[in-house]
A and B are shown apart, each in its own frame.
Chain A
Amino acid sequence: GQNIDQPTEMTATEGAIVQINCTYQTSGFNGLFWYQQHAGEAPTFLSYNVLDGLEEKGRFSSFLSRSKGYSYLLLKELQMKDSASYLCAAYAGNNRKLIWGLGTSLAVNP
């Protein structure tokens, strides 16, 4: 079957670093997306990884290991506005859809 797992909730402190993990099992895997969703709003695109390794974009980085079916999103210098849900989604090329995880709710405390 096709499945994505990520932790339900995480808590971190302002200014700190947090790593949100995502493991996936999909057939025809062709890329991994991370989205951010604030409460009551639509998800917004953060990153895309298709090759193994780390992609850095300012305070946010995303890592992919295709052999392990594993990705993580790294958030540095946390700010209060980073409190949101972070969704992991895999692109399974054989059915041309995104397979979504349930999201990780991150609370950033002062």
Chain B
Amino acid sequence: DGGITQSPKYLFRKEGQNVTLSCEQNLNHDAMYWYRQDPGQGLRLIYYSQIVNDFQKGDIAEGYSVSREKKESFPLTVTSAQKNPTAFYLCASSPGAGGGLGYEQYFGPGTRLTVT
């Protein structure tokens, strides 16, 4: 079945460590996105990529880094510079073309990161 996978579902790290969250899609989508969601809050865009080997900062990119070396994969690294990294992280993808509906985003199950 086509879809988006994120692993692991729960991740625990010590403060000061970098951690990489994985996101893989087999939908053949060009565009991929990383969001952060805090309790009771909406989605905040961290980074997005519209095509392989290219990505742009979202609204809250500080303390995060990404790469897009393959169409299927868009890993997110949470660095020690991120002041408050504990959150629910969601990866999404979309076809990225074909008018507005081409930007319907399909979400992975999310990774809940806890840093202590």
Chain A residues packing against B (C-beta within 8 Å): 30-31, 33, 40-45, 48, 50, 87, 91, 93, 96-98, 100-103, 105
Contacts and interface: CB of A to CB of B under 8 A. Distances in A.
B101 A48 contact: yes
- Size class of the contact patch on chain B: 20 to 34
B100 A31 contact: yes
B90 A30 contact: no
B109 A41 contact: yes
Nearest to A88: B42
A87 B101 contact: no
A96 B103 contact: yes
B75 interface: no
Given A43-B105, A45-B105, 4 more contacts: A42-B110, A48-B104, A93-B100, A101-B42
Interface in B75-102: 88, 90, 96, 99-101
